[in-house]
Amino acid sequence: MAQAQQTEHVGLARVLGPAHVWALGVGIVLVGEYMGWNFSVGKGGAYAALMACWFAGILYTCVAMIDSEVTSTVAAAGGQYTQAKHIVGPLMAFNVGLYLVFAYTMLEAANAITFGFLVDTVATMSGHSGLDQRPFIILAIMFLAWLNYRGVLATLTFNLVITAIAFTAVIVLFLATSGVVGVSPLRHAELMSGAAAMPYGWLGVLAAMHFGLWYYLGIEGTTQAAEEVRSPARSLPFGTLAGVMTLAIAATLTWYVCSGLMPWEYLGQAGVPLFDAARLSGSTFLMVFLGIGTMFATLASANGCINDASRAWFAMARDRYLPGWFGAVHPKYRTPYRSIIFLVPIALIFALGAPIDQVITFSILSGLLEYTFMPLNIILFRRKWPLETIKRGYEHPFHPLPAFALLALCGMAFFAVFLGYGTQLVAMIAFYIVVSLWFHFWRYRFVNRGAQFTMPWPKPKGY
């Protein structure tokens, strides 16, 4: 009994610093600079993709500022789920937790599909065509799940190294092709003249917002490390805001290089645009470096997704929103090992049996639903607990303008997704309505209602 009681009180280890938070956020997202963002070019042309990049950058800057304030105050695993639990209520928290799990698990599956495609591409270039991608998809997910199982410090240190290499590859490609070093092969004036600039007009700009989110999707995952950083009030805002700035730089440089080397018709459907840009540069070194960078970005993203999805699932189980069995922490490695193991087959099912564009859209829609919750969250947080009542690690400026801007941009993005994937959008919202009814009428009776509110806050204003 004494041993069981000791095991029950084992918690997550506080071993992370600001660099690990940066590696978690940027590592998940940087793969979007290597692939996926370019589908926005196919939706509206090169200029539309650039405008979508910057509009999405504003959206995610608002997300980062709001998240940094609330998470530096609600420093617990679960991120936005834990925020919703304390600020809005249980039903919202349950839905936000599911948004997080599905967004990261679908993104993990998309990364595994991409990794298999990359291995097949390298094999084809080496003269071995027809390679079966499925073993490499399974191997990637299983290896990263094992790494997460063994400890968060090793997991995010690994992410820090490979993410830094992948980001460096983007910088090197820009320097080598922009004319800063040597002669520039870029042909923007030729490739973006006439109708090629915006082939579908301003409607194309709106449609491009769908995949424009791919430049930044997942940066909000830094909040999942709240219970494992040494200083949440310092590390979380620093890592998150530095991550958004890093991604804005990488996204703009990526667009500049790729749109200057490839016509928009090809760029809009390319599988690995940065790697294609490196091949078109004529440099063997750049081709190899960007190939390595593409694989590292894919692995870093999948690795961070496993980390974040398991923390959200673990936090929900710990509060009995899900079966409490998933809320166990490994006594030696201090990780939510049951949540990590449980989500592996779900990721494999989607990675092996679903088209990548459907998987990406599922992830984007789950993320959008989560972002739509954030304006309500921060407005209620400021109203219930004004600045003078609770000490915050970070106070985001210009409130409530970022909340209103985020809400407007989310509405624009929902319409953009509806233009291309309206059926999937309706089906997904119907799914969340059904599981909400299940939670309300069945699951909530098992929730430990007194133990779910863990923050030592004063009563809300007007209580």
Which of the two residues, 254 and 195, has the higher pLDDT score? 254
Question: DSSP letter at 16?
Answer: B
Confidence of residue 311 (pLDDT cuts 50, 70, 90): very high
Q: Is the pLDDT assigned to residue 451 strictly greater than 80? A: no
- Looking at the domain assignment, is residue 1 inside a domain? no
385, part of any domain: yes
Does residue 397 fall inside a structural domain? yes
Q: Percent of the chain, pLDDT > 90?
A: 66
The residue among 362, 375, 44, 373 whose CA lies nearest residue 217 is: 362
Res 449 pLDDT > 80 = no
In this prediction, residue 436 carries a pLDDT of 95
The per-residue pLDDT for range 212-255, each reduced to its tens digit, is 888 998 899 999 999 999 998 889 999 999 999 999 999 999 99
Instruction: Look at residue 322 and tell me whether its pLDDT is greater than 80.
Output: yes
Amino acid identity, residue 324? G
Q: Which residue segment(s) compose the domain that 278 sits in?
A: 20-446
Please give the pLDDT value at position 421.
84
Q: Is 332 within a domain?
A: yes
Return the SS3 of 336: coil
The two tokens of residue 47 are 């200029």
**Residue at 3 is within a domain:** no
Tens of pLDDT, residues 334-380 = 999 999 999 999 999 999 988 887 888 888 889 999 999 999 999 99
The pLDDT, as a whole number, for residue 77 is 86
Q: Of the ranges 1-10, 96-105, 170-179, 284-293, which one carries the lowest mean pLDDT score?
A: 1-10
Q: What is the mean pLDDT of the chain?
A: 91
- Residue 359 confidence (pLDDT): 86
> Does residue 6 carry a pLDDT above 50?
no
418/454: higher pLDDT: 418
A 10 A CB-CB count for 28 gives 33
* Sign of the torsion formed by the C-alpha atoms of 196, 199, 201 and 204: negative
- Please write the tens of the pLDDT for every residue from 50-91: 999 999 999 999 999 998 999 888 888 889 999 999 999 999
Say what the pLDDT of residue 29 is: 93
Q: At 177, which CATH number?
A: 1.20.1740.10
Domain count, the chain: 1
Q: Please state the rounded mean pLDDT for residues 157-177.
A: 96
Query: Which of 456, 160, 155 is closest to 334 using CA atoms?
Result: 155
Residue 239, class by beta-carbon neighbours within 10 Å (0-12 exposed, 13-18 middle, 19+ buried)? buried
Is residue 343 a part of any domain in this protein? Answer: yes
26 lies in some domain: yes
Is the backbone peptide bond immediately before 400 cis, with ω within 30 degrees of 0?
yes
Tell me the per-residue pLDDT of 371-382, one tens digit each, with 9 for 90 and over: 999 999 999 999
The residues, any chain, with a CB within 8 Å of residue 335's CB and separated by 6 or more, are 12, 148, 149, 150, 151, 152, 310, 329
Mean pLDDT of 424-433: 92
Q: What is the pLDDT of residues 115-149, one digit of tens each?
A: 998 898 888 888 887 889 999 999 999 999 999 99
Q: What is the pLDDT of residue 4?
A: 45
Q: Looking at the domain assignment, is residue 456 inside a domain?
A: no
Please report which confidence band the pLDDT of residue 1 belongs to, taking 50, 70 and 90 as the band edges. Answer: very low
pLDDT computed for residue 5 by the predictor: 44
Specify the pLDDT at position 9. Answer: 62
- The DSSP secondary structure of 344-401, one letter per residue, reads HHHHHHHHHHS-HHHHHHHHHHHHHHHHHHHHHHHHHHHHHS-TTTS--S---SSTTH
